[in-house]
Amino acid sequence: MTGSFASDDIVAALKAAAEPTRLRILLLLAGGELSVKDLTVILGQSQPRISRHLKLLTEAGLIERFREGSWAYFHVSDRSAGGRLALDILALVDRDDRVVARDRERADALKSEREAAAQTYFQAHAADWDRIRALHIAERDVEQAISDALGPGPFDLLVDLGTGTGRILELLADRYERGLGFDLSNAMLAYARSKLSTSKLGQAQVRHGDIYDLSLQDEVADVVIMHQVLHFLSEPALALREAARVLAPGGRLLIVDFAPHDLEFLREEHAHDRLGFAPAQVENWMKDSGLVPKLQRDLAPSPGSEPEVLTVSLWLGEQPREAKNRDRSARSRTLQEAP
């Protein structure tokens, strides 16, 4: 067992986990963050019953809770003693058990539905996506902050995850030898290719790709950017881990997204899965992915702005130079072979 625990705490934790539904909840939350609503759909039980189980698990320290607007999300964190104890307990569970497998299938289906809703939104708004962004933030100021955070370069390979219209590839075109943008929306990719072609950016390309499973080898990118992407994802931490995987030693990950807010209409009307992110939340995800946080900056709207104008946050993380050992010539060959 990882770490040490007081005997009373162990007894309380084991009592909390020793109930079929609560054990199923722990297994689901070990696989990713879920809301009360998500769990009621997956498990087919009432909201009061699920809330009661979550309360007991939280009080026992086995799971953590955080709020986004009117929603609450829960997860098992390996940064806490209780979370590590929960993971030790779950390691004993047969993952091929019929009930466990069914819960996992329902959770996967729910996440797929949410991702599909986001893709439907992207396809409906591909041509005016830049305009929609401008409704919420001062894009000019954000782009200047992105430029300042990354510095002048040059970068061998810059990767833009959730590239959308390809604006980031266009903005930073003078700083990289090769740029790759990945997106799941074919409509977005078609629009981005058109823009890049018009701008005559031959060193920039866009590819259809899964942000959770990139078609790139390890350690190939000098810079990875995730601009206004995380709030659409059901598993932001997993996306950060994949971004960190492709970063070279000394490479940097820049995340640009909204600070926490309570504009609930963005969930239904604009497919936002998350209502912004607290600074510590993203920094912890970076640390869990092996990155060193280097910068966190908030860009607040000017006084007198409309209520819909949101604060934008930037996070910059760096891959430690000593974390991986790979010579430059081998990396250059990988770059040439990148898709």
Q: Is the pLDDT of residue 122 over 70?
A: no
Q: How far apart are CA 86 and CA 76, in angstroms?
A: 7
> Taking a C-beta distance cutoff of 8 angstroms, is the pair 247, 224 a contact?
yes
Q: What is the pLDDT of residues 178-224, one digit of tens each?
A: 999 999 887 788 888 878 877 778 788 898 889 999 989 999 999 99
Q: What is the pLDDT of residues 281-302, one digit of tens each?
A: 999 999 999 999 999 999 987 7
Number of Cβ atoms within 10 Å of the Cβ of 100: 17
CATH number of 129-337, picked from 3.30.230.10, 3.40.50.150, 1.20.1300.10, 3.20.80.10? 3.40.50.150
Q: Do domains 7-117 and 129-337 have the same CATH topology?
A: no
Q: Is the pLDDT of residue 329 over 60?
A: no
Which pLDDT belongs to residue 238?
Answer: 94
Q: How far apart are CA 31 and CA 111, in angstroms?
A: 12
> Taking a C-beta distance cutoff of 8 angstroms, is the pair 24, 98 a contact?
no
> Taking a C-beta distance cutoff of 8 angstroms, is the pair 223, 254 a contact?
yes
pLDDT, mean over the chain: 85
User: What contacts 104, CB < 8 A, 6 or more positions away?
Assistant: 27, 28, 31, 95
- What is the spatial order of strands in the sheet that 34-35 belongs to? 34-35, 71-75, 64-68
Cis? peptide before 154, omega within 30° of 0 = yes
Instruction: Give me the residues paired with residue 255 across strands.
Output: 226, 315
Identify the CATH number of the domain defined by range 7-117: 1.10.10.10
Q: What is the pLDDT of residues 250-275, one digit of tens each?
A: 999 999 999 998 888 888 878 888 98
Q: What is the pLDDT of residues 213-251, one digit of tens each?
A: 998 999 999 999 999 999 999 899 999 999 999 999 999
Query: For residue 92, with 0-12 CB atoms within 10 Å meaning exposed, 13-18 middle and 19 or more buried, which class applies?
Result: exposed
Q: Is the pLDDT of residue 151 over 50?
A: yes
Q: How far apart are CA 223 and CA 159, in angstroms?
A: 6
Q: Is the pLDDT of residue 279 over 50?
A: yes
Domain ranges for the chain: 7-117, 129-337
Instruction: Identify the band that residue 137 occupies on the pLDDT scale cut at 50, 70 and 90.
Output: low
- The number of helix segments (H) and strand segments (E) in the chain equals 14, 10
Instruction: Identify the band that residue 26 occupies on the pLDDT scale cut at 50, 70 and 90.
Output: very high
